[in-house]
Structure 1
Amino acid sequence: MSREEAFIKIIKDHEGIIYKIARIYADITEEQADLYQEIVFQMWKSFESFRGEAKISTWMYRIALNTALFHSKQKNKRGRNVSLDKIVLKQENYDPVMEDRLKILYQQIRRLNDLEKAVILLFLEGRTHEEISAITGLSHTNVGTRISRIKDKLRKTIKK
């Protein structure tokens, strides 16, 4: 298998990681697509240096989050756009109630600071505290504390 084929397979197998990060860190559909492309590009640039010391998903999360954070900082320098588009969810079984709940959850997650977004996204993905710690650079204890605080913050804002 060539290097390109191996990379394409990894991206296809784990594209949910990239999609979710792009969706959390970009508001407008076109911006999400641009961020998705930028993340894939950054992964391609780093692919040759991947040594396999960490899981492929950990490596992908690190690059995706760093790219998204850089994108977010650049966007803040340029100013903010307001999206009038409806978010289209990639779901096979369409459930309008679940779609509304997910929209509310994603809206509230977007209001968190960049590190909180990363931590809660990884938690919602089912990552362990150890994995979140490895990806974000936070200590294991700090990850647990932050998750608890973020969940409380989301509960309070969603109840309103």
Structure 2
Amino acid sequence: MVAADDDFADWIAPHVGRLTRISRAFAAPADRHDLMQELLIAVWKARPAFRGDASPATFIYRVAHNRALTWRRREGLRWLKFARFRDDLMNLPPESGEDPRLETLYAAIRELPPVDRSLMLLALDGVSYADMSALHALSESNIGARLTRARARLMAIIGETSDGF
């Protein structure tokens, strides 16, 4: 059972970093704030359904990840309409004070398939293979194989787009 909405900020605060990483992985720099806002709204709306069967981190991650996938599909359709402006928007300078290598990494992560993107984010968060397995209904050996291929793909993408790190 969930307490009153008054403590939502306290409940979500330990997980804001995870939401930030999801927004970085699914959205271009110019859209991150919008996606982050949508993730917070989705979690806030879904909170009454939290029964405590899973940890709050797992619940929040699943809600946010599903919302990010939906957002990404919707944004993909919008980008098709505005394809001629894509290059200009994607070549915006990095946010002030941000390490360009970090943006290169997240740009490469955004090119991964959604499940691999999610697994890579979980790995970066230090989540165990067992927890990833429970979250995605995949075997731990499948998780390991997917992460190995995703890491190789990231290095290939980074190598194609720049001189790497």
**TM-score in terms of structure 1 length:** 0.84
- Following superposition, the deviation at residue 12 of structure 1 comes to 1.7
Unaligned runs of 5+ in 1: none
Counterpart position of 2:20: 19
Q: Secondary structure at the match of 2:90?
A: coil
- Following superposition, the deviation at residue 145 of structure 1 comes to 0.9
Identity of aligned residues (%): 30
**Residues 102 and 141 of structure 1: is their aligned pair in 2 closer, same or farther, counting only changes over 3 Å?**
same
Counterpart position of 2:43: 43
Q: Distance in 2 between matches of 1:2 and 1:137?
A: 29
- Give the AA of the match of 1:151: R
**TM-score in terms of structure 2 length:** 0.82
- Following superposition, the deviation at residue 47 of structure 1 comes to 0.7
Counterpart position of 1:87: 94
1:3 counterpart = 2:11: no
- Give the AA of the match of 1:133: S
Q: Distance in 2 between matches of 1:117 and 1:145?
A: 14
- Give the AA of the match of 2:139: S
**Residues 159 and 84 of structure 1: is their aligned pair in 2 closer, same or farther, counting only changes over 3 Å?**
closer
Counterpart position of 1:117: 117
Q: Distance in 2 between matches of 1:147 and 1:109?
A: 12
Counterpart position of 2:163: none
Q: Distance in 2 between matches of 1:105 and 1:40?
A: 24
Q: Distance in 2 between matches of 1:19 and 1:32?
A: 8
- Following superposition, the deviation at residue 2 of structure 1 comes to 5.3
CA contact (8 A) 1:27 1:83 kept: yes
Measured on the aligned residues, the alpha-carbon RMSD in Å equals 2.1
| Superposition misfits of 4+ residues, deviation over 4 angstroms | none
Q: Secondary structure at the match of 2:49?
A: coil
Unaligned runs of 5+ in 2: 81-85, 161-165
Q: Secondary structure at the match of 1:154?
A: helix
Deviations 1:50-76 (A, max 9, x none): 111111111111011100000011111
- Give the AA of the match of 2:56: I
Q: Distance in 1 between matches of 2:140 and 2:157?
A: 26
**Residues 56 and 149 of structure 1: is their aligned pair in 2 closer, same or farther, counting only changes over 3 Å?**
same
